[in-house]
Structures are given as structure tokens and as C-alpha cells.
A = this chain, B = another copy of it.
Amino acid sequence: MPMKDKNKGLDNFPALHLENQFCFSLYSLSRRVIQSYTPLLKPLDLTYPQYLVLLVLWQQLENETNTISVSKLTKELKLDTGTVTPLLKRMESKGLLSRTRSKKDERIVMVELLAKGLSLREQAKKIPQSLLCQSTVEPQKVMALREQLQQMLALLN
């Protein structure tokens, strides 16, 4: 049977093809890049989301505080409390941070960076550099792509 007749009677829906799906590319690459973090985070006994929580807490230090409320944290991470609360509990049980209900407003739980969480910062400093070295992608291209992704995320919200 000639090639051109092969799909006779069958519809073609290129928009439904996996390789044409923006979302699938995004989803695959996202998982793939997180996978490249895994071996670097393993020595710190951290998962990628746990690492993100520490990034936020470390960044707070530059603002002269070592605490942040759960609600602000969920906003920064763009995750909901159903994800964040158990995540924080696991990190609390590892001694990386503490969770304390605020006196002024009893609804609020403040997350505080503990010494053990702070101590991981020095090791973590090497991670971004280490990833760039492994990769064959040019850093300025990564930066440009990041900006495009952020732009699109802003448009969707």
C-alpha cells in the first residue's frame, strides 16, 4: 500500500500530537531539570521543594529576618497549603526550621530558619555553578529562556 493511502479514512489531528504540545515539553523539561538537581541535593538530604523553601528563608536574611509566615511562603512558592504544610512538617522534623503560631494573630504560623537550615547555605552556594558547568547550554540562553517563562507565567495570572 502506498504511503499516501496509509491513513485513508483516519483523521489526523496534529494539534493532538505529543511532539506539538507545548505543555508536554514544559512538563518533561521541568521534571528533567529537577532530576539534575537530585544528585546535588542528596548530600544535603533535601528534595527540590525543600530546597526551594530554604532559598526563600535564606533570602529573608538579606531583609534582616529569619522568619516568614506560611501564607507568604506559599505565595512565593506558588504552592498551596495542602502541599506546604506537610512539607514544612517534614523539614521541621529534620531540624531545619521551626513552626510557631503568632501571638499577635493566632491564625498565622511563622516559619523560622534554624541553625541547621542556615548551615546548608554554604554547601548550596555551589549548586547553581555546578549545574551550569554540567550543562552544554549557554548561560545567557538559559537566562533569556527563564525570562520568557516568567513573562508567560505573568500573562497567565
Chain B residue, CB-CB nearest to A17:
B59
Q: Mark A15-40, 1 if CB is under 8 A from B, else 0.
A: 11111111111111111111011000
Q: Contact: A30 with B26, CB < 8 Å?
A: yes
Secondary structure of the A side of the interface?
helix
Q: Contact: B149 with A25, CB < 8 Å?
A: yes
Among B18, B26, B48, B128, contact of A149 (Cβ-Cβ < 8 Å): B26
Copies in the complex: 2
Q: Mark A117-146, 1 if CB is under 8 A from B, else 0.
A: 000010011001100000111000011011
User: Can you give 14 A-B contacts (C-beta < 8 A)?
Assistant: A10-B62, A18-B52, A21-B55, A23-B37, A23-B48, A25-B149, A27-B48, A28-B78, A29-B149, A29-B153, A32-B153, A33-B156, A36-B156, A137-B152
Q: Does A7 contact B (CB under 8 A)?
A: yes
A153 to chain B minimum Cβ distance, whole angstroms, is 5
Q: Does A93 contact B (CB under 8 A)?
A: no
Q: Contact: B32 with A30, CB < 8 Å?
A: no
How far, in angstroms, from A55 to B19 measured CA to CA in the complex?
10
A residues in contact (CB < 8 Å) with B: 6-7, 10, 12-13, 15-34, 36-37, 48, 52, 55-56, 58-59, 61-62, 64, 76, 78, 121, 124-125, 128-129, 135-137, 142-143, 145-146, 148-150, 152-153, 155-157
Interface centre among A12, A20, A55, A143 (most CB of B within 10 A): A55
